[in-house]
A and B are shown apart, each in its own frame.
Chain A
């Protein structure tokens, strides 16, 4: 009896092995990219950009034949987990991706606090992670060797905005700097403060508020009572929606306000309707045909394809996510191998043009891209100020709410 079972199972095992072999005749091994992304939970709204961008980029690269390693062409495969907007879960999922699923290379999650925690996993297992969701300077200040980032440094988010403010007439003087108390926004605050002082602006309010705050009436009342010219807010989209709505209901209209997130996103502008008008923001990416790329053609084509596939506009998060996949592919081809250490060394030296812009990483692993100041003007989003100065005239100063 025992002998029979073992004989049967032996035959089963052997035939399974034969079948598996036959189903996959000498095809080059797939290259698996793993990521844990916020598909549900409070930041799912931005997390989806990353899943969608990864999918689109992988699809496009596979359609073009895949990744060339030596003489073989490999297909890319994505393995994505939903971290439910929970940092601890995301760390566990990355650990699972590298230790159990044995993915070849890693793509990043959204948001700095996630990238900050998850990069500890990539460092420990020495698997390179290219992430386009975390901009905080903290991520790159730990001398980690396996983390690469394609978002421009948080400390410089308001850099171009401050440049623009110097040219505005009538010249603004007093500035309120508000920022949420998470890794990214604190980095923005810390980077912006010295820049404002250097440019000669008077910081009359410098306030850190708690993440997920819903009530800004007290801060807004202070802004009004101090007659602040410029309000700079580093926060999350939900907070900024509340901020703008409450500014209107308290009739607080500074000469200008600018936000680190929200303005480039279609969903944000839709939720505010015409109250979004005059809001400034910034983006490191605009879907311009000047940004050439070997897979998509150019950034404008990327935007069209993305919109057709997912039914909403991509913003810089999506472009940054797509660039992450491209950076990994480029590095694999440069290295001629999927060996993590070799890919890591190739990433450190990588230099190519993507739909997101020229990709090259500084010694700390972060990209350096300039931010373009943008403003909501009517139902359009206008580029206002870039590295070479003014692009379009800013609508400034912002009129009172009852004069719109």
Chain B
């Protein structure tokens, strides 16, 4: 029983990290209809940025997150303004191609700049934990989980209650009507992509404190984020949290009951099931 509780706790904490990784992808996908295949590469860049801030400037990784997020926001904004706006209304295939190309370029630039060596963001407290009875809560994961919840709620409130958030939602729902009300889509798209990449950067900083960084972590993270976005649905940031938690718990239980080789089979199996049963996600509105 203790083991089961511990595994569930592990799953929930893992899910929080997953959610924050997928948040930006879901936002960009929902609003711009761009499935950003380079999302994982941006997480990787965010992780390297946090690592540099920590290693060379001594900025604690959790304090460095806002810096990472802002820098990555600027990168994302510029990238949408200069590059992706050219294809934003092109068929989906074009956006897939261009983001895939971006993924390849960023990965190889990262290897040139940072080499293929492994890095870890490893402050003294990264391995600490809190003991609750027989259950152990790893501190870094707990903090990552807390930040994930805060970011998701902030995202939700932002989209619901701010002028910019409403403009983003309006553009996602009906571009023509939004323009009639004075929304400038190019700026708005760039803001949205910037926020998405900023979130990816923050996720990278968190990822680096619990895992390891190398230039090639991106592709698997994109796949995971993709699955979570689909499971949770694109309408609502809360769906992403649900998707992340769901996937984290499923994977942890799969390792316990079916065997460790099958963690990925389980998570992508769930993805297929969700697509069959609830195509617009667990929290999505059914069509």
Q: List A residues at the B interface (Cβ < 8 Å).
A: 40-42, 44-45, 48, 85, 178, 181, 207-210, 212-215, 217-219, 221-222, 224-225, 237-238, 241-242, 245-246, 248-251, 267-268, 271-273, 275, 401
Considering the chains assembled together, what is the distance between the CA atoms of A237 and B14 in angstroms?
A: 21
Residue of B6, B128, B131, B259 near A225 (CB, 8 A) is B6
| Nearest 10 A/B pairs, CB to CB | A209-B260, A249-B138, A248-B127, A218-B255, A217-B10, A44-B116, A42-B216, A225-B3, A45-B116, A271-B118
Return chain A residues, CB-CB under 8 Å to B261. Answer: 181, 208-210
User: Is there contact, CB below 8 Å, between B119 and A271?
Assistant: yes
Considering the chains assembled together, what is the distance between the CA atoms of A44 and B216 in angstroms?
A: 10
Query: What's the minimum C-beta distance from A387 to chain B, rounded to whole angstroms?
Result: 32
A214, A219, A401, most chain B CB atoms within 10 A: A214
Return chain A residues, CB-CB under 8 Å to B116. Answer: 40, 44-45, 48
Residue of B10, B108, B122, B251 near A275 (CB, 8 A) is B122
Query: What's the minimum C-beta distance from A247 to chain B, rounded to whole angstroms?
Result: 9
User: Is there contact, CB below 8 Å, between A268 and B118?
Assistant: yes
Beyond the given pairs A42-B216, A214-B220, A249-B210, 20 more chain A to chain B contacts, judged by CB atoms under 8 angstroms and listed by A's residue number, are A45-B116, A45-B214, A181-B261, A209-B255, A209-B260, A209-B263, A213-B263, A215-B252, A221-B3, A224-B6, A245-B212, A246-B210, A249-B127, A249-B140, A251-B131, A268-B118, A271-B212, A272-B120, A273-B120, A273-B122
Given A218-B255, A267-B118, A273-B122, the answer on whether A213 and B260 have CB atoms closer than 8 Å is yes
User: Is there contact, CB below 8 Å, between A245 and B251?
Assistant: no
Return chain A residues, CB-CB under 8 Å to B127. Answer: 245, 248-249, 275, 401
Considering the chains assembled together, what is the distance between the CA atoms of A275 and B124 in angstroms?
A: 10
| Chain B at the A interface: SS class | helix
User: Is there contact, CB below 8 Å, between A241 and B212?
Assistant: yes
Considering the chains assembled together, what is the distance between the CA atoms of A140 and B122 in angstroms?
A: 41
User: Is there contact, CB below 8 Å, between B141 and A222?
Assistant: no
Return chain A residues, CB-CB under 8 Å to B173. Answer: none
User: Is there contact, CB below 8 Å, between B10 and A218?
Assistant: yes
Q: Which residue of A lies closest to B131 (CB)?
A: A251
User: Is there contact, CB below 8 Å, between A218 and B256?
Assistant: yes
Considering the chains assembled together, what is the distance between the CA atoms of A387 and B139 in angstroms?
A: 43
The verdict on B7 contacting chain A, using a C-beta distance below 8 Å, is yes
Given A40-B111, A218-B7, A250-B136, the answer on whether A207 and B214 have CB atoms closer than 8 Å is no
User: Is there contact, CB below 8 Å, between B3 and A222?
Assistant: yes
User: Is there contact, CB below 8 Å, between B108 and A40?
Assistant: yes
Query: What's the minimum C-beta distance from A300 to chain B, rounded to whole angstroms?
Result: 25
Return chain A residues, CB-CB under 8 Å to B105. Answer: none
Return chain B residues, CB-CB under 8 Å to A219. Answer: 255, 260
Considering the chains assembled together, what is the distance between the CA atoms of A213 and B217 in angstroms?
A: 11
User: Is there contact, CB below 8 Å, between B216 and A41?
Assistant: yes
Considering the chains assembled together, what is the distance between the CA atoms of A339 and B58 in angstroms?
A: 59
Return chain B residues, CB-CB under 8 Å to A212. Answer: 220
Return chain B residues, CB-CB under 8 Å to A224. Answer: 6
Interface string of B212-256 (1 = CB under 8 A from A): 101010001000000000000000000000000000000111011
- Listed by A's residue number, 14 A-B pairs whose Cβ atoms lie within 8 Å are A40-B116, A85-B216, A207-B259, A208-B260, A209-B260, A210-B260, A210-B263, A217-B14, A219-B255, A242-B212, A245-B122, A245-B210, A249-B129, A249-B141
